[in-house]
Amino acid sequence: MKRYLGVDLHRNCFTVCTLGEDGKSELKKWSIHSLGEFAQQVQASDAVAVEATGNARHFCQALKERGCRLVVVNPHQFQVVSRSVKKTDAHDAKTLAEFLAKDMLPEVRLKEDLPAEMASLLQTRDKLVKLRTTLKNKINNLLAARGILLARESLSTEKGLEQVLQTDVGELARVELVVLVEQIRHLTQGIAKLEAAIKKQGPKLPGYESLKSIKGIGDVGGSTLLSAIGDINDFASEGKLAAYFGIVPRVANSNETERSGRITKRGNKLGRTAL
């Protein structure tokens, strides 16, 4: 008998609703440490649905060898769970199982390991770069409040950071500047390590050399786009790929009137920024 398993997944546990073709259901809560034991009970004829959360990849990899159908659900498109007035693990798992049985779940793909790992690495780099920019702005504002104006790119060099430490400011402001400069230096070192890894692993992504041949696309930009795209065959058309990046216009059709608005900005933000 075919079974439909809805899984409400958390970091340390998950609740499974097993729904049979006869309509009978069974609920069970598992510790995440028992994932291997749970996987052994999954049959090849089963269908399993789980929302795309932070550890959904780890969960799916544990079940991959079982040969079952795995459905990773897009939580932004499937809002039956998020908007439910009854928000319990058991209820959410049962809802997933019921919609899985009806084949009414919006699926989201899981990328291969390398694109997924590169995407994570690039997101970390992006966060560190933004944090470094925030700290540089803090230094500029701190000195500007004391009538000291810095050249726009002066904080991008070691010489510029040293000059900041030599400025004539009060005792408390000096402590602040020393800490800010130290953090900027540490962030720069970390970003350099990430970029070295990007430069080393990026060429392993399919299409890397072709993309790099385009003027203006470097190691980071090329890796960002390719890690965001993953398998290009996942997209049926150019329009689907553009929609994935959120660079297609909003469209409102009513009767014979068609209106196009600004781009949707839905989808991969880092990839859209790279474009």
Selection from 77, 72, 73 nearest residue 61 by Cα: 72
pTM of the model: 0.83
Q: What spatial distance separates the first Cα and last Cα of the chain, rounded to whole Å?
A: 48
Residue with tokens 């560190």: 128
- For 148: left if phi > 0, alpha if psi spans -120 to 50, otherwise beta; the answer is beta
Superfamily of domain 3-101: YqgF/RNase H-like domain (3.30.420.140)
Tokens of 23: 């309509």
Q: What secondary structure letter does DSSP report for 86?
A: S
Return the biggest CA–CA distance within the chain: 79
Q: What is the pLDDT along the chain (275 residues), one digit of tens a residue?
A: 899 999 999 999 999 999 999 999 999 999 999 999 999 999 999 999 999 999 999 999 999 999 999 999 998 888 876 666 567 999 999 999 999 999 999 999 888 999 999 999 999 999 999 999 999 999 999 999 999 999 888 999 999 999 999 999 999 999 999 999 999 999 999 999 999 999 999 999 999 999 999 998 999 999 999 999 998 988 888 888 888 888 878 765 655 555 666 777 777 888 888 87
Map out the domains of the chain as residue ranges.
3-101, 113-203, 235-274
> Any idea how long the chain is?
275
Cβ proximity of 81 and 92 under 8 Å? yes
Counting Cβ atoms within 10 Å, is residue 219 exposed (0-12), middle (13-18) or buried (19+)?
middle
